[in-house]
Amino acid sequence: MSQFAINIIFVGLSFALYFGIAIWARAGSTSEFYVAGGGVHPVVNGMATAADWMSAASFISMAGLIAASGYGASTYLMGWTGGYVLLAMLLAPYLRKFGKFTVPDFIGDRFYSKTAAMIAVVCLIIASTTYVIGQMTGAGVAFSRFLEVENTTGLLIAAVVVFFYAVLGGMKGITYTQVAQYVVLMVAYTIPAVFISLELTGNPIPGLGLFSNHIESGVPILTKLNQVVTDLGFASYTADVPNKLNMVLFTLSLMIGTAGLPHVIIRFFTVPKVADARWTAGWTLVFISLLYFTAPAVGAMARLNLIDTVYPQGVAEAPLEYDQRPDWMATWEDTGLIKYNDLNNDGRIQLYNDSGLGAAQVALNTAEADGGDVAAATAAVETARIAHDAEMDGRFANAGWAGNELDVNNDILVLANPEIANLPSWVIGLIAAGGLAAALSTAAGLLLAISSAISHDLIKRNLNPNITDKQELKYARITMGVAIVVATYLGINPPGFAAQVVALAFGIAGASLFPALMMGIFSKRINNLGAIAGMLTGLITILVYIFVFKGWFFISGTANFPDTEEYWLFGISPLSFGAVGALLNFIVAFAVSYATAPPPAHIQELVESVRSPRGAGGAIDH
Amino acid sequence: MKAHNDPSGYWRANIRLITGSLIIWALCSYGFAILLRPLLAGIKIGGTDLGFWFAQQGSIVVFIILIFFYAWRMNKLDKQYGVDEE
């Protein structure tokens, strides 16, 4: 049977399963649509939340990021898990007790202000829309690679599938579909990793294999990896980072961003009791960690495998001839995610740290062909060449190497893993289904957060408070449909901000939503004006800092400074600035609140009531 | 059994528990994995140092333990102060 047919079967079977669940778990009321009726068991909810959380980025990109930067990428591992500690202790139980359907619901009620709720809706829509575009494009890539359809066609198929089970089932359908998707994506991620770990270290558990000995050389696999990457002029894999302030703030920004993302928070509204909200956070992290323990092993082992493939005789010997390259390399070259450029015309593949020479050379060729600034490009090549020739005591220059010739996109490591390790074709089919499960489960969760913000917070709260439950359910379904259409359109024509998921979504959630939610629970003194001022401060701070370095509204050429460390404020990158925005949010909110009148008595009673778990059950139907 | 009607005592106990947990949370992630990594460089583990392990796996293990510990302690506190759900 051909690989294509196997992929179709795996993807088709997984989709049939999702459809079946969607029909079984139709939503009949707004409570079922928004929060699955509030009756999901914490272990089931933890599994669904884990699938909701682990996006195309976790499944496809994270191992590649780790492979590329080693220790430095630990930020993602810690940042995307540590936020659940904050959720479990600072937000989830109290918001569950509050017992409404959405994040703006709480902000609007606690700060007795429609303006505050509207700011929360705006933050939610920017963060979730940015996030959902990434999922749709991720699904499109998986479809086009494995099912050999056009990217756009792939995206449309993904949209139809999500439309079917999200619009029909709401949170109820999404939750139970996500349980199935969790199983599919975990199995798909783990199986190739187990094979590769066995092959390299003899240890069947990849997370343990990472700290085991490399069979071939007898030294620990990380020692081996450090040797080969430094021999090729790259930074040591486990080396410390110089800019610790930035690493701390980046990790903190990802953690508070995780805790403040509305599509994650609403998951905690689906359990029956406050105690279950606490357990849900724990179970979610257990299920997430199964993938997160494997990811660093996949990253390190894939990097080693790739280098072994290019240097079959070892890194001190001549690299592979291009004509001898394995089939998977040729397949991925077709997608443009692997690029080969024979700079020194020797017919071999040189993969090494060339101090930017290869890229400068390509830029010069482009400039010459398109009539660009040839003088500047030539100067850049010369600067890079001096660095290149001095590197490793002139080893690369003496060997006649003229720059790095193989450009491998980080995103393909996980998808190409089974092929790199020569695994059977059904594993590749499984990876296809797993990548799609990761993208679709997250997309559905985000679309639900967007549609509930519009139908519940905009229409029900502001425009027409008198609509019945049935009417609201209809609006929720319509907005869900519209959100899918918009997300699909933006996935096909990605706007500039689509690439800034980490900066925008996590920055806004961390700088604006997280502090407001936390202060709403932990302080009785924060009033409407303080919260509004704080949220706006956080939102504006993070947006301005991102725009200054990445271009105003992401229009290229409008950035005020280059996005490099020497221009960053105190060496803090735009990705790490969410933590600074959050700090300013806290300060401004407290200053304004203490300068103005305290919140009315009934609001202080509301805070008292969310702090105490008793009586949470009845609050859900309102 | 303590007094049933002591919401501020319950809340203080919760804040104490959160503070202690978050100190460990920060120590393992920002401490051992990042800022204090050079101090732990002498402790070797599988071809690298303990700080690297904390950064890539150890801190996640600690996070999981912290959440389950917190959930378990809070459920006991809920009962002790009589604010649990029946």
DSSP codes, A271-284: SSSHHHHHHHHHHH
**pLDDT for the residue A618:** 47
**pLDDT for the residue B64:** 97
Q: Which amino acid is at A260?
A: G
CB B84 to CB A251 under 8 A? no
Which of B66, B75, B83 shows the shortest C-beta gap to A612?
Answer: B83
Is the pLDDT score of A611 beyond 70? yes
Which of A223, A279, A292 shows the shortest C-beta gap to B71?
Answer: A279
Is the pLDDT score of A620 beyond 50? no
Mean per-residue pLDDT for A213-237? 91
Is the pLDDT score of A439 beyond 80? yes
Q: At what angle do helices A425-452 and A114-146 cross, to 10 degrees?
A: 160
Q: Which of B18, B67, B79 to mutate to test the interface with A (most CBs of A within 10 A)?
A: B67
pLDDT higher for A516 or B85? Answer: A516
Tokens of A502: 């980490």
**pLDDT for the residue A34:** 83
Q: Which residues on B lie below 8 Å from A296 (Cβ)? A: 56-57
- Report the C-alpha dihedral over residues A56, A59, A63, A66, rounded to 10 degrees: 50
**pLDDT for the residue A284:** 95
Rg (Cα) of chain B, in Å, rounded? 18
CB A77 to CB B55 under 8 A? yes
Calculate the alpha carbon distances from A91 to A98, A260, A405, A470 in Å: 11, 9, 49, 30
Residues 6+ apart with CB under 8 A from A236: A70, A226, A229, A230
A47 within 8 A of A179, measured Cβ to Cβ: yes
Whether residue B63 lies within 8 A of chain A, CB to CB, comes out as yes
For B6, counting Cβ atoms within 10 Å of its Cβ (0-12 exposed, 13-18 middle, 19+ buried), the class is middle
* Distance of alpha carbon A583 from the chain centroid: 23
- Closest residue by Cα to residue A127 from A254, A34, A257: A257
**What is the least distance, in Å, from the CA of B24 to any CA of chain A?**
11
**pLDDT for the residue A619:** 43
Q: Which amino acid is at A351?
A: L
Cα first-last separation, chain A: 55
**pLDDT for the residue B58:** 95
**What is the least distance, in Å, from the CA of B25 to any CA of chain A?**
8
**What is the least distance, in Å, from the CA of A209 to any CA of chain B?**
9
CB B84 to CB A614 under 8 A? yes
CB B53 to CB A282 under 8 A? no
User: Worst-scoring range by mean pLDDT, A503-517, A563-577, A585-599?
Assistant: A563-577
**pLDDT for the residue A408:** 87
Residue A523 CB: number of other CB atoms within 10 A? 17
User: Worst-scoring range by mean pLDDT, A126-130, A231-235, A493-497, A576-580?
Assistant: A493-497
- Closest residue by Cα to residue A267 from A569, A34, A3, A11: A34
Q: Which residues on A lie below 8 Å from B27 (Cβ)? A: none
CB A612 to CB B49 under 8 A? no
Match 């997280």 to its residue by tokens.
A514
Whether residue B14 lies within 8 A of chain A, CB to CB, comes out as yes
Is the pLDDT score of A622 beyond 50? no
The pLDDT-based confidence of A417 (bands split at 50, 70, 90) is confident
Mean per-residue pLDDT for B44-64? 92
Phi-psi category of A112—alpha, beta or left, where left has phi over 0 and alpha has psi -120 to 50? left
Q: Which amino acid is at A469?
A: D
Domains of chain A plus CATH, in order, are: 3-305+420-497 (1.20.1730.10), 338-408 (no CATH)
**CA A329/CA A381 separation, integer angstroms:** 28
**pLDDT for the residue A524:** 92
**CA A117/CA A532 separation, integer angstroms:** 9
Which of B34, B48, B75 shows the shortest C-beta gap to A248?
Answer: B34
Is the pLDDT score of B27 beyond 50? yes
Whether residue B25 lies within 8 A of chain A, CB to CB, comes out as yes
Which residue in B has a C-alpha nearest to residue A82's C-alpha? B63
Is the pLDDT score of B1 beyond 70? no
Is the pLDDT score of B3 beyond 60? no
**pLDDT for the residue A392:** 80
Which residue in B has a C-alpha nearest to residue A210's C-alpha? B46
* Distance of alpha carbon A232 from the chain centroid: 30
Residue A48 CB: number of other CB atoms within 10 A? 30
**pLDDT for the residue A617:** 60
pLDDT higher for A387 or B66? Answer: B66
Mean per-residue pLDDT for A413-430? 83
Which DSSP symbol is given to A407?
E
**CA A61/CA A73 separation, integer angstroms:** 11
**CA B9/CA A552 separation, integer angstroms:** 50
Q: Which of A80, A612, A620 to mutate to test the interface with B (most CBs of B within 10 A)?
A: A612
Mean per-residue pLDDT for A251-262? 95
Mean pLDDT of chain A: 88
For A327, counting Cβ atoms within 10 Å of its Cβ (0-12 exposed, 13-18 middle, 19+ buried), the class is exposed
* A17-54 pLDDT tens trace: 988 888 888 777 888 888 887 778 889 999 999 999 99
**CA A72/CA A343 separation, integer angstroms:** 30
Q: Which residues on B lie below 8 Å from A608 (Cβ)? A: 7
* A90-141 pLDDT tens trace: 999 999 998 888 899 999 999 999 999 999 999 999 899 888 888 888 887 7
* A279-317 pLDDT tens trace: 999 999 999 999 999 999 999 999 998 999 899 888 888
Which DSSP symbol is given to A315?
T
CB A278 to CB B22 under 8 A? no
Q: Which amino acid is at A571?
A: G
pLDDT higher for A358 or A524? Answer: A524
CB B85 to CB A281 under 8 A? no
Residues 6+ apart with CB under 8 A from A163: A480, A481, A484
Which residue in A has a C-alpha nearest to residue B69's C-alpha? A282
**pLDDT for the residue B4:** 62
**CA A260/CA A86 separation, integer angstroms:** 9
Residue A217 CB: number of other CB atoms within 10 A? 12
Whether residue B21 lies within 8 A of chain A, CB to CB, comes out as yes
CB B47 to CB A247 under 8 A? no
Q: Tell me: ipTM over 0.90.
A: yes
CB B46 to CB A220 under 8 A? yes
Residues 6+ apart with CB under 8 A from A21: A165, A169, A173, A176, A177, A180
Q: How many residues does chain B have?
A: 86
3-state DSSP percent of chain B in helix, strand and coil, to 5? 75, 5, 20
Q: DSSP of A463-474, one letter per residue?
A: I-TT--HHHHHH
Q: Which amino acid is at A163?
A: F
**pLDDT for the residue A498:** 65
